[in-house]
Structure 1
Amino acid sequence: MDGVQTLADRRCNVAEHHIPTEHGIVIARQWQPQNRSRTTAAPLILLHDSLGCIDLWRELPERLAVATGRKVIAYDRAGFGRSDLLHDRPAPDFVTRGASAELATVLDALGIEDFAVLGHSVGGGMALAAGAVFGARCRAVVTISAQSFLEDLTRAGIRKAAEDFADPQLKARLERYHGARTDWVLDAWIGSWLSPAFDTWCLDAEIAQITSPVLTIHGALDDYGSPAQPHRIAQMAKVPVNSLLLADAGHFPHRSHEARTLKAIIGFLARPLQP
């Protein structure tokens, strides 16, 4: 781990790190709430979506850190944001790989043993896989708009997005966050999920192995996954699953319904089973 920058913040001390991985340098950022100089609660790891990065979490990491008293850590997965550029399309098992090898490297670099994990969209799938891979080390799993199996709706939404990103202005907005990585980021999402290699993709086996409590948050108007997604998670899990289904939310409830989303996450993480 190479801590390269400490940023001033009103409510958190924010440190940024460059972490060597098998796929190059990964950028991580850590929020330590100033109102808790020392906390025994497990840090919360954030896993971004298919077009995401640290900066696209906006103010959520700081708000979670302050509200929960936990360290919150987000990182740009390899190929995204400011992490090193990749060239090859991710392998069909990239969701479980992202929840194992890369996450393990980040945890080791930051000296983290036990943790809680929160993921959005494909990051939610990675959060579920992390719950399976890390067992008791993963103390809680939170998903927002997670995909755990492939629906026709998922691919229809991605095809529509592919058409939308033909607009140079929309693509330019994405380039503000990913720069020279943008074409790879788009193909890693669109090309991967529309590939025949993904036809039978699901996380049923991983969900059944999770040993920690789970919270799912989902919008009923999500263009990339119907309410069948959180229902499937609850059906396949062998642990308690708390669910929040927002009737008028789409794919980003942590933005459109921030207060309700934060309340659900904070309450869930405050329970006695979340040390």
Structure 2
Amino acid sequence: MAAPNVHDAWLEVPGGQVFVRQWNIGQQNKTPIVLLHDSLGSVELWRGFPAALAQATGRNVWAYDRLGFGRSSPRTEPPSLDFILEEARLYFPAIAEGLELNEYILFGHSVGGAMALCIAAHQPAQCRAVITEAAQAFVEERTLQGIRAAQQSFQDPTQFARLARWHGEKARWVLEAWTGVWLEPAFGGWTLEPYLNRVHCPVLALHGDRDEYGSVAFPERIVHGVAGPARMEVLPDCGHVPHREKEALVLGLVEDFLRNIS
């Protein structure tokens, strides 16, 4: 299959503009895939994965920078403790409308996976399937330990410069938005539990067996909690970024999962 054509655009959402990119292989009769990035992520940080995903699945792929990230409009206020739910209720519907997506498949990495499940719970008629990758389902001590370690590492100017490469002047906000919310004691009781039983579409939960930000209790909670058909795959010798560490395996699992979904 030929390499996809890449198209960039900006969409208006409450509070500013978000940057979106499409990997278009000219396939209009298959439901497209929308990627939701992690807490430090951006469109550019998906690197070559979206193009590979489009070719492997025969589907057009979209990705976007959440408000405050990457090339989207900056934010000054810290995110609320309900930021995951807000993405599902406030921002994503505006993005789907702007892209004229009546139906979609969601692929969410880390907190993007939690957002994908919340979107599926709130937009059941539009969401055809969800793939979560290293998604958190509640706040686990391993998650907090990983965030504290990352927070410490970003005190190194070289490490912080790597983050600024993707987010520019927004890098400090991005880092503090992540660590500030997750390490806030009031966030400790957050869980996907109220939303999982409202997810009726097929779900594939991917998780690395060496994920430094969460145990396999996360995908277990997801697959046992959703109302629709669900499948868990624990990837061997893999950390928190399976689509980078085990790209071929992830592409194969996703292609197989979506084979019977139009």
TM over 0.5: yes
Residue identity (%): 43
Distance 1:99 1:44 in 2: 16
Distance 2:220 2:232 in 1: 9
Distance 1:187 1:48 in 2: 17
Q: Which of 98, 103, 106 is 2:92 aligned to?
A: 103
Match of 2:8, SS state, is: strand
Displacement, 1:136? 2.3
Displacement, 1:198? 0.6
Q: Which of 112, 120, 127 is 1:138 aligned to?
A: 127
Give the letter aligned to residue 83 of structure 2: F
Displacement, 1:263? 0.4
Give the 5 Å matches for 1:176-215: 176-215=165-204
Give the letter aligned to residue 20 of structure 1: E
Q: Which of 117, 121, 124 is 2:106 aligned to?
A: 117
- Contact 1:136/1:212 (CA < 8 Å) preserved in 2? no
Spell out, residue by residue over 1:241-273, the C-alpha distance to the aligned partner (whole angstroms, 9 max, x if none).
Answer: 1111013111011111111111001111112xx
Aligned to 1:3: none
What's the Cα RMSD here?
Answer: 1.0
Displacement, 1:100? 2.5
Give the letter aligned to residue 206 of structure 2: I
Aligned to 1:11: 3
Stretch of structure 1 that moved more, 189-198 or 47-56 = 189-198
- Contact 1:39/1:69 (CA < 8 Å) preserved in 2? no
Give the letter aligned to residue 183 of structure 1: R
Spell out, residue by residue over 1:75-101, the C-alpha distance to the aligned partner (whole angstroms, 9 max, x if none).
Answer: 000000010110111111111111221
Match of 1:161, SS state, is: helix
Distance 1:205 1:41 in 2: 31
Task: Give the TM-score normalised by the residue count of structure 1.
Answer: 0.93
Aligned to 1:149: 138
Aligned to 2:231: 242
Tell me the number of residue pairs that the alignment of Structure 1 and Structure 2 aligns.
261
Displacement, 1:65? 1.0
Aligned to 2:30: 41
Aligned to 2:164: 175
Q: Which of 122, 143, 147 is 1:158 aligned to?
A: 147
Gaps of 5+ in 2: none
Displacement, 1:131? 1.0
Match of 1:131, SS state, is: helix
Give the letter aligned to residue 210 of structure 1: V
Match of 2:228, SS state, is: coil
Distance 1:193 1:265 in 2: 29
- Contact 1:30/1:74 (CA < 8 Å) preserved in 2? yes
Spell out, residue by residue over 1:150-186, the C-alpha distance to the aligned partner (whole angstroms, 9 max, x if none).
Answer: 1011101100110000000000011000000001000
Distance 1:243 1:261 in 2: 12
Aligned to 1:219: 208
Match of 1:18, SS state, is: strand
Distance 1:234 1:92 in 2: 24
